[in-house]
Amino acid sequence: AQSVTQPDIHITVSEGASLELRCNYSYGATPYLFWYVQSPGQGLQLLLKYFSGDTLVQGIKGFEAEFKRSQSSFNLRKPSVHWSDAAEYFCAVGPGVSLDSNYQLIWGAGTKLIIKP
C-alpha cells in the first residue's frame, strides 16, 4: 500500500539550531517527492521537490532535503531555524510516471515545528 510516514508529530527546536524532519514512504514505483509547509490559517506552500538526478535538493527559505532510495526516506533539513519557521510541515509523494493516470498526492500526517526563543 502507498503511504507516507512522518514519525514526529511535534518537534521543538531552539532558534538558531539545526533541524531535521523525517519522512519515510512506501510506494510501488519510483516516486516524486515533495515537502510543503502550512502556516496557521494558510494553505500549503511548496518548499522543494525531488524528481530525479542529484539526491540533495535545495528549496526555498534555506531548506534542503535528501532522497535516500535504500532507506525510502526524504528528510527535510535546515542548518539554522528562525522563529518564522514555526509551522506544520508535510511530506507528500506521487507517481513518477502517470502510467495509470494517477494524479493524486499521498500525504503524511505532518510534523508541527515549535521554535523556542
Surface-to-core class of residue 104, CB atoms within 10 Å of its CB (0-12 exposed, 13-18 middle, 19+ buried): exposed
Please provide residue 37's backbone torsions phi and psi, each rounded to the nearest 5 degrees. Answer: -120, 140
84 binds another protein (CB under 8 A): no
Stretch that binds another protein, among 17-25, 60-68, 78-86, 98-106 (CB under 8 A): 98-106
53 binds another protein (CB under 8 A): no
Secondary structure (3-state) at 73? strand
Q: Which of residues 16-45 bind another protein (CB under 8 A)?
A: 32, 34, 36, 41-45
Q: Per rule CB under 8 A, is residue 83 in the interface with another protein?
A: no
End-to-end CA distance of the chain: 41
Nearer to another protein, 15 or 112 (CB): 112
3-state SS, one letter per residue, for 3-30: EEECCCCEEEEECCCCEEECCEEECCCC
Q: Residue 17 or 109: which CB sits closer to another protein?
A: 109
Contacting another protein (CB under 8 A), which of 33, 94, 113, 115?
94
